Amino acid sequence: MSGEVNGKDPGSGSHMLRGSVWMIALRWSLRGIGVVSTIVLARLLTPSDFGVVAIAMIVVGFFEMLNRTGQGNALIRLTNPTREHYDTAWTISVLIGSAIAVGVVAAAPLTKIYFHEARSVVVMQCLALRALLDGAQNIGTVDFRRDLRFKMFFHFQVSTKIFQFVLTITLALLLRNYWALVGGIVGGQIARTALSYVLSSYRPRFCLKAAREIWSFSIWTFVRSIATYFQDQVDNIAIGGIAGAPTMGRYTVAKDVGSSPTAEITEPIIAALYPVMAKYQSDPAELRRLYLRTLGWSAMICASTGVGILLVARDLVSALLGPQWMTIVPFIGWLALGTAAETLRSGAYATLDVLGLPGIGARMQWVRLILLAVAIIPVAYITRDLISIAVARFVMAALFIPTLYTAVGGRIGVSASQYISALWRPFLATGVMALAVGGLNLVFPTTGLLRLGADVVVGVATYGASLLLFWDLSGRPMSAEQDLVKLLDQGRARFRRLASA
């Protein structure tokens, strides 16, 4: 079970920065593998193949969401969890995982009625095994995050992803159809569950003695997970009802590619933030500093990557996916902007959880889901246009941000001026970046991979320089830019040491 963090406590900022570096390395390793996998598979399989699995995963994902009850987060938040807490959390996961597997198999035939895709029925039945295995994963691995052992968490996640990548590509070369995707998903989960028992010496036992204590926190995580799932899927559900597997496949791939640069940096930062915040939950001033620092990082990443994808969409799709996917260009940028707006709110929910207020976050997620559904579903059925759906998603995500910021700020003492201070530099630097990239394309109207490379280089350089200039002009406040400078200094020092060795 969990132990204390060894050594002298270097402070919350250092914990979060070090954890964020490992978690970002993890997510980019996973995403790098995922992007390579998508690129290769997009050339081996068809949009229809992706659509069949995407339709199945809408329903499977809904059932699997029922196991996102936050048992792990409940253990992280507890000051001194006992074996009963760990065993109870594992037992709940096993029971829910088993129920999910049964539910998926039973519901599979019904999907043909709405989605009109008979092939997804058998796919769903096969994917039920993933839910069963996921529920049986060793609960002891939660200590990788609880004890801030992010390096071990990194190895655990990357090893299973590499196995899944190799298996999926091998099956795609052999089968050349959607069963390669199915085999990769199930095989990856088998590897993940097995490795959880190899890397953690903890051996869980069936127990429900601490069910009331675990569930009093995790029930709200469960309620929020339902809303979060449907927020992610409401556009897919609408499209599945008005279009076939090829259209669903195009939208799914566009959403994946458009969201990756933003999500794969910000989500690991949030993953590192929660266990660090949990150790400082009794220090309101430190919680406020951590929240604002994370918000600054989110703004730096979301603004630049969301707008960046919009600027280079055509050349990005052409270079990565090939000509058969060029129809996704008109809406991939809007999906990227939507993800950026949604990700700007991530740290707020982690903060509410640490404060012991998960119910507030859950209720706000449900309100947002209702507003999103009211906006997207009519647009989908009236216009039947993917661009309009993507735009509607972005607009609703952006409109909800101020409400969430107000709710969190009022509880930890964050003023409007502090929010503005954390956000204005990244957004203004993004505007400078957009002008630079747009000007470059007017002066040198090249196309293809050459323009993509030039846009990326100019965009990164302009954004980084503008961001640090605005930070310097602001008096170099303690903010996310300070962390960025520290990371750059550490990188230069390490490079000099390697060069002189």
How many whole angstroms separate alpha carbon 416 and alpha carbon 453? 38
Give first-to-last CA distance, the chain, whole Å. Answer: 41
Q: What is the pLDDT along the chain (501 residues), one digit of tens a residue?
A: 544 434 344 444 455 555 555 555 665 666 666 667 767 787 788 878 888 888 888 788 777 776 666 677 778 777 788 899 999 989 988 998 899 899 889 888 887 777 777 888 888 888 889 888 988 999 988 888 777 677 777 778 788 888 888 898 899 989 888 899 899 989 989 999 999 999 999 999 998 888 887 777 677 777 877 888 788 888 888 887 787 778 888 888 888 878 766 666 666 666 666 666 676 677 788 888 888 888 888 888 888 888 999 998 888 888 878 788 888 889 899 999 988 888 887 678 878 887 878 888 888 889 889 999 999 999 999 998 899 999 999 999 899 889 889 988 888 888 999 999 989 999 999 999 999 999 988 887 777 788 888 999 999 999 999 999 999 999 988 888 887 787 777 777 777 777 776
Residue 91, classed as helix, strand or coil, is helix
Closest CA to 190 of 132, 275, 272: 132
How many whole angstroms separate alpha carbon 230 and alpha carbon 45? 27
Does residue 11 come out as left (phi exceeding 0), alpha (psi in the -120 to 50 range) or beta?
left
pTM above 0.85, yes or no: no
DSSP state of 444: S
DSSP 154-197: HHHHHHHHHHHHHHHHHHHHHH-STHHHHHHHHHHHHHHHHHHH
For residue 54, report the phi and psi dihedrals to the nearest 5 degrees.
-65, -40
How many whole angstroms separate alpha carbon 216 and alpha carbon 211? 8
Residue 7, classed as helix, strand or coil, is coil
Tell me if 42 sits within 8 A of 174, measured CB to CB: no
How many whole angstroms separate alpha carbon 228 and alpha carbon 64? 13
